[in-house]
Structure 1
């Protein structure tokens, strides 16, 4: 067994260790709008559920040299976003939205996606993605490392769900029809794959 303290590793080596170990990770495709009205779209895999009562999800977004990502800035300015779930049918376009663009450029132009208005917030929905969650900012937690903010943890409250009709059956989402994609390390993604059912102990 190899034992290493994170403080003895570079930031990049810590990154590689974590993303190679904590797998698979769900992928959030987040749309937000800048103060200038530019639609920003970006995928994030530091993403998960926090609680269902109230419905809150988490989004961890690294800073680059201390500078906030556009998604973080937009959510802090407007207090809202739309979180979509990455799926197999859209993964090529999702990957395109990871491109490094200028603040005034929209990732939408790199995709085949179309937009429609949300119902509770002002950020648009991506029509082609199968699950969409309109969210509002619940809490922002800057991640401080020895006096320097290196990342932003956003807790987002779900205001409305939108689910492709055939996915939602008897109050449950059909994973085989959703075909979710997960993030691994490097350039790798994972499909749903084989499932194992194990009853919880009483």
Structure 2
């Protein structure tokens, strides 16, 4: 079995191991709003649940050469954002929002996605999502990096409202086979839900 010291290889080589080995990863499609009112949308696969009481999620936004991305900058400014689950019906448009746009241009306008007013936060959500969460910024933890520059913004969002398509919801539960969430693999690869199985926890 190979033994690799991450300190002896480049950031890119570590990235390849992480994204190739930690799979599948759920995708957070995050909307934020700039100080000038530009609606930003971007996908992130460094994303997961933090807590159920209160309900909180994490989204790690990697920096470029120590510079914050629009999502982290906007979330820090407004203290709010909306997270959407990416599914088979919207993944192609979500992928288009990965294009590098100037700070004053909206990925939502570029891709023709449909903004919808949120109930609690001021940042709009997107109608194309079947499951979305309005969040307030609980904390932004700046991590990693060299020479005093962080390499990532770990956004902790406290969920203040769930929005769920009735077709995927029943008695407090989400039907995974109806949600049809997709996950991120390495490179340009994604995965649909495959065969599901159950295992009872030992008592």
Question: Same fold per TM (> 0.5)?
Answer: yes
Structure 1 contact 29–94 (Cα < 8 Å) conserved: yes
String of CA shifts for 1:96-135, please: whole Å, max 9, x gaps: 0111100001001232321111000110010011001000
86-95 vs 103-112, which moves further: 103-112
Aligned twin of 1:163 = 164
String of CA shifts for 1:23-58, please: whole Å, max 9, x gaps: 000000000000000000000000000010110100
Aligned twin of 1:127 = 127
Aligned twin of 1:70 = 70
String of CA shifts for 1:141-173, please: whole Å, max 9, x gaps: 100334321111111000000000111111100
Q: Give the Cα–Cα distance (whole angstroms) in 2 for the partners of residues 64 and 85 of structure 1.
A: 25
Runs ≥4 residues deviating over 4 A = none
What displacement does 1:200 show?
Answer: 1.0
Instruction: Provide structure 2 residue ranges, at least 5 long, that are not aligned to the other structure.
Output: none
The number of equivalent residue pairs is: 202
TM-score by length of 1: 0.98
Instruction: Provide structure 1 residue ranges, at least 5 long, that are not aligned to the other structure.
Output: none
TM-score by length of 2: 0.98
Aligned twin of 1:180 = 181
- 1:72-91 equivalences under 5 Å are 72-91=72-91
Whether 1:97 aligns to 2:100 is no
CA RMSD of aligned residues (A): 0.8
